[in-house]
Every structure is written in structure tokens, then in C-alpha cells.
């Protein structure tokens, strides 16, 4: 019976070596690539640290009045936009700042809170709330933010109309730009723009729409889950888009380093 012929490779040892090197290089490249983040899982984790910010008054027709969003940065401490916190409370009627979050049975949990520190220049406020601690977010650094990177923000859009149901919106960091845009002439300058131009800083421009109630929402890196900014449209739009008559649909965020600075001034790490 004839014996089967042995199988021989037609490739030369040199070409086989090159192929092995290419395969090894491809495997190393795949290993170096960052693992795509699971946004639903990251958003679910972020929701545990996101709260609504507003006021509470027992003798008011509507006792609970959420005004915006905040997020936990340290035990019992929350960051939000300064304009979300009322400049004056009705002390005679025992009005208080309040932190709200969903509770079991479609109910709302209210925590009394106090203003600890305010950064009017960057429209940030640090609050301390009562009760049990909530999970704190991880903070990134402004130096690591890149134009074109994926991001997302979680908050309470249209909270007084839609209720206490947090929503997550995906966005791109479209640009890192000055808080005030240049104008054609001095006549176009508003007092708000002059104030911003005297102490300029950069903001994050986003290609997503932030709604009333989203002010104070954490903007986070999709891959790492670290917070890179604080959503802010009202404050920034008054200066950056003062010449635009119709809403632009662009949203903005205050870079995270300003959050770090406010926490440091308040004695928090």
C-alpha cells in the first residue's frame, strides 16, 4: 500500500518568521488598546452619586422645589452650580436648602443641606447634607481632557416637569474654549462679558443638549467614569452666546480642576 506523502510548508523560514512577527505585533497592539467602557454600567454607578438640589419649606404649597442637579464628591458633600443654590432663603418660614434622591416605592427622600463654600467666578457651590453618606464620584484632571473624546452626563433634566428620574446623555468634548467669545466692537460688550474677560478661563463645549435641571450634572469620561466637568449652560451662555438670538443647542461644562480647588479651600481632599 502506498504511504502518504509528508506535508511540507511551501513558505520559507524567513517568510514564516516575518508572519510570526506580524502576529505578535498585532497581539501586542490589541493588548495595548483601552477596553471600551460599558456606558450603561458606568451610568448606573454614577446614578448612585447624583442627587437633585433645591429647597424645602414645610408650610409652602409645594414643599419640595428641586432646581438642578448635584453629585457627591466626599462623605456628605455635594458639588452643584452656584446659581442652583438660592442666594437668599426665607428664614422666617424655615426654608432650607435640600438634597433630593429617589427612594423605594416611588417616593422622594429629602436631606437638609447647608452651603459650605461658593465659587461665584466659576459658578460652583459645595454643600453638606445630613444623613447617611452616599457613594462619591472619582474626579479626573483638566489636563487629561482632550477635544474629541467621548463623555456623558447624568442629571435631572426638566426635573419639575418630568420628576425625579435621572437621565444620562452622551456627548463629545467638541472644543475647549474661553468662557467669553471675542466681539466685533465695544458696543457689543455686556457687563457679564466684561466681568468674564477680566478673569478668563476655559470651558468645555459639548455637542449635546443640556436642559433646565441639568445644571450641576457631572460630566464624566466614558472610558474611565471619572468626572471631568460640571454641566453649566445658564451661566456660560450669558457671556459666550450673548450675540445669538436663538438657542444654539450647544452645552458647556466647567472643567473639573475648579471643583478640586473649591474642595481644597473648604478643607476637603
Per-residue pLDDT of 206-240, as tens digits, reads 999 999 899 999 999 998 999 999 999 777 766 65
Burial of 222-243, coded b for 16+ CB within 10 Å and e otherwise, reads beebebbbbbbbebbbebbbee
Report the 10 Å Cβ neighbour count for 145. 21
CATH of the domain at 158: 2.40.10.10
Q: Residue 241: inside a domain, yes or no?
A: yes
What residues make up the domain containing 72?
39-129
Q: What is the pLDDT of residues 155-193, one digit of tens each?
A: 999 998 899 999 999 999 999 998 865 555 455 556 665
Q: Residue 253: inside a domain, yes or no?
A: yes
On whether both 124 and 92 belong to a single domain, the answer is yes
Alpha carbon distance 242, 114 (integer Å) = 33
Mean of pLDDT over the chain? 84
Q: Looking up cell 455635594, which residue turns up?
A: 78
CA distances to 77, 84, 132, 153, 259 from 255, rounded to whole Å, are 19, 18, 28, 13, 8
On whether both 119 and 173 belong to a single domain, the answer is no
Read off the pTM. Answer: 0.79
Residues 6+ apart with CB under 8 A from 205: 173, 174, 175, 176, 177, 250, 251, 252
Indicate whether 32 pLDDT > 50. no
**Mean pLDDT across 104-108:** 89
Terminal-to-terminal C-alpha distance of the chain: 83
Alpha carbon distance 104, 65 (integer Å) = 20
**Mean pLDDT across 14-22:** 57
**Total count of domains within the chain:** 2
Nearest residue to 258 via CA among 119, 147, 52, 59: 119
Grid cell of 100 as nine digits: 433630593
Low-confidence winner among 49-53, 78-82, 130-134, 248-252 (lowest mean pLDDT): 248-252
On whether both 242 and 150 belong to a single domain, the answer is yes
- The number of CA neighbours under 13 Å toward the Cβ of 254 is 28
On whether both 208 and 252 belong to a single domain, the answer is yes
Alpha carbon distance 30, 260 (integer Å) = 35
Q: Which of these three, 78, 108, 129, is where a domain ends?
A: 129
Indicate whether 20 pLDDT > 90. no
Check residues 7 and 235 and name the one with the higher pLDDT: 235
Amino acid at each position: 500500500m502506498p504511504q502518504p506523502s509528508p506535508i511540507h510548508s511551501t513558505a520559507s523560514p524567513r517568510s514564516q518568521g516575518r508572519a510570526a512577527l506580524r502576529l505578535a505585533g498585532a497581539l501586542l497592539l490589541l493588548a495595548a488598546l483601552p477596553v471600551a467602557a460599558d456606558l450603561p454600567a458606568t451610568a448606573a454607578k454614577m446614578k448612585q452619586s447624583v442627587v437633585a438640589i433645591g429647597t424645602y419649606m414645610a408650610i409652602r404649597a409645594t414643599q419640595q422645589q428641586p432646581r438642578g442637579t448635584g453629585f457627591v464628591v466626599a462623605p456628605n458633600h455635594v458639588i452643584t452650580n452656584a446659581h442652583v443654590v438660592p442666594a437668599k432663603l426665607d428664614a422666617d418660614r424655615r426654608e432650607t436648602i435640600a438634597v433630593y434622591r429617589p427612594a423605594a416605592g416611588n417616593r422622594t427622600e429629602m436631606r437638609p443641606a447647608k452651603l459650605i463654600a461658593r465659587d461665584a467666578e466659576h459658578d460652583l457651590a459645595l454643600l453638606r447634607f445630613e444623613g447617611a453618606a452616599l457613594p462619591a464620584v472619582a474626579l479626573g484632571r483638566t489636563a487629561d481632557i482632550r477635544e474629541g473624546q467621548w463623555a456623558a452626563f447624568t442629571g435631572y433634566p426638566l426635573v419639575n416637569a418630568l420628576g425625579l428620574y435621572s437621565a444620562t446623555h452622551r456627548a463629545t468634548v467638541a472644543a475647549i474654549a474661553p468662557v467669553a467669545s471675542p466681539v466685533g466692537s465695544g458696543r457689543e460688550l455686556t457687563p457679564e462679558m466684561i466681568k468674564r474677560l477680566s478673569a478668563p478661563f476655559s470651558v468645555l463645549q459639548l455637542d449635546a443638549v443640556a436642559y433646565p435641571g441639568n445644571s450641576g450634572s457631572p460630566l464624566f469620561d466614558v472610558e474611565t467614569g471619572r468626572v471631568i466637568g460640571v454641566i453649566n449652560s445658564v451661566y456660560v451662555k450669558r457671556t459666550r452666546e450673548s450675540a445669538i438670538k436663538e438657542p444654539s443647542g450647544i452645552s458647556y461644562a466647567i472643567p473639573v480642576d475648579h471643583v478640586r480647588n473649591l474642595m481644597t479651600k473648604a478643607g476637603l481632599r
